[in-house]
């Protein structure tokens, strides 16, 4: 029974790419359109994009998904599995850079257990403006928190080689609000792909959703990228308030030394996280966003 990888799910069909002996999709081969066996529904399971599966071919040239292999990771939104890296894209202009929203996305990525790289897009839109060091400040801020930050332009090719290098041989997900250039970046990474890109609404300052379903796009270096719908709003309903601090990775070493177990890092005496903020070892803007999210989550908990 052949093994494959689900690269697209649409209208009850699963499009499976056959895997070679090394577990990599066979290049140049058409995907097999499959239905899932009824047993999955009885178990309350569903195949997802990114699943490694066993499948059998039917007489009409289509196939049936018979077995789902063990998953390494699973995302709820977007529904994709076996992802190891999230590329978080935020534009420097159109829409303007929003670090509070960026931190909210990072919380969700950390909660999902994924590694993350931050990609600042549309650098070309600043080309004719007076030079400033604001992007370097952002790079330093998030490097201090433990993230790699890339400054890129799909139009000029700036930074795209490094992005492609990070995507090699793994399943990755592109994440970020609408209109930041996710599809443009994928088009730059794989010439000829021609994904639809969206114009930015001048009235709202954000883009239209151009991606309707999750699909893994193969790159020529063995990487597979999920181009996913953009989200302008995120909520914390699936995240417990006690889990929030662990989603700020720079807190970890300090939190372990706090005086009280279960310290919320908001008001307790002997809190090493707040001491690190005062000492400049943790960025104040990141800490202030943590407190804002903490209060938001407590309020929602009371409401529900």
- Report the binding-site residues: 121-124, 176-184, 258, 263, 265, 271
Residues at the annotated binding site for GTP? 121-124, 176-184
Show contacts of 208-213: CB within 8 Å, 24+ apart: 208/178, 208/179, 209/178, 210/183, 211/182, 211/183, 213/8, 213/9, 213/10
Which residues, listed in sequence order, are joined to residue 137 by a DSSP beta bridge?
none
Roughly what angle, to the nearest 10 degrees, separates helices 134-145 and 284-303?
70
Residues at the annotated binding site for Zn(2+)? 258, 263, 265, 271
The 3-state secondary structure of the chain reads CCEEEEEEEECCEEEEEEECCCCCECCCCCCEEEEECHHHHHHCCCCCECCEEEEEECCCCCEEEEEECCCCCEECCCCEECCCEEEEEEECCCCCCCHHHHHHHHHHHHHCCCEEEEEEECHHHHCCCCCCCHHHHHHHHHHHHCCEEEECCCCCCCCHHHHHHHHCCCEEEEECCCCCCHHHHHHHHCCCCCCCCCCECCCCCCECCCCCCCEEEECCCCCEEEECCCCCCCCCCCCCHHHHHHHCHHHHHHHCCCCCCCCCCCCCCCCHHHHHHHCCCCCHHHHHHHHHHHHHHHHHHHHC
CA distances from 177 to 100, 210, 211, 267 (A): 12, 12, 12, 32
- Take residue 178 and report the two structure tokens written for it: 């609408």
């Amino acid at each position: 029974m052949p093994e494959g990888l689900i690269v697209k799910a649409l209208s009850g069909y699963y499009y499976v790419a056959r895997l070679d002996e090394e577990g990599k999709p066979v290049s140049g081969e058409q995907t097999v359109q499959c239905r899932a066996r009824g047993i999955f529904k009885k178990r309350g399971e569903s195949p997802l994009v990114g699943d490694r599966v066993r499948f059998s071919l039917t007489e009409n040239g289509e196939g049936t998904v018979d077995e789902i292999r063990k998953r390494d990771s699973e995302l709820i939104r977007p529904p994709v599995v076996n992802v190891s890296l999230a590329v978080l894209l935020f534009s420097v202009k159109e829409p303007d850079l929003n670090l509070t929203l960026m931190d909210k996305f990072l919380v969700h990525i950390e909660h999902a257990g994924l590694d993350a790289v931050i990609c600042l897009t549309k650098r070309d839109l600043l080309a004719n403006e007076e030079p400033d060091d604001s992007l370097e400040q952002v790079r330093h801020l998030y490097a201090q928190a433990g993230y790699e930050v890339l400054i890129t332009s799909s139009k000029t090719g700036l930074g795209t080689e490094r992005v492609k290098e990070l995507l090699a041989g793994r399943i990755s997900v592109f994440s970020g609000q609408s209109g930041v250039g996710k599809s443009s970046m994928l088009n730059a990474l794989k010439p000829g792909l021609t994904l639809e890109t969206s114009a930015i609404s001048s009235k709202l300052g954000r883009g239209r959703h151009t991606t309707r379903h999750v699909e893994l796009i193969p790159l020529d270096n063995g990487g597979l990228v999920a181009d996913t719908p953009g989200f302008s709003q995120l909520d914390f309903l699936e995240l417990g308030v006690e889990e929030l601090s662990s989603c700020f990775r720079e807190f970890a070493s300090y939190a372990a030394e706090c005086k009280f177990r279960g310290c919320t890092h908001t008001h307790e005496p002997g809190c090493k996280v707040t001491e690190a903020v005062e000492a400049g070892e943790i960025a104040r803007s990141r800490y202030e966003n943590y407190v804002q999210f903490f209060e938001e989550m407590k309020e929602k908990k009371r409401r529900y």
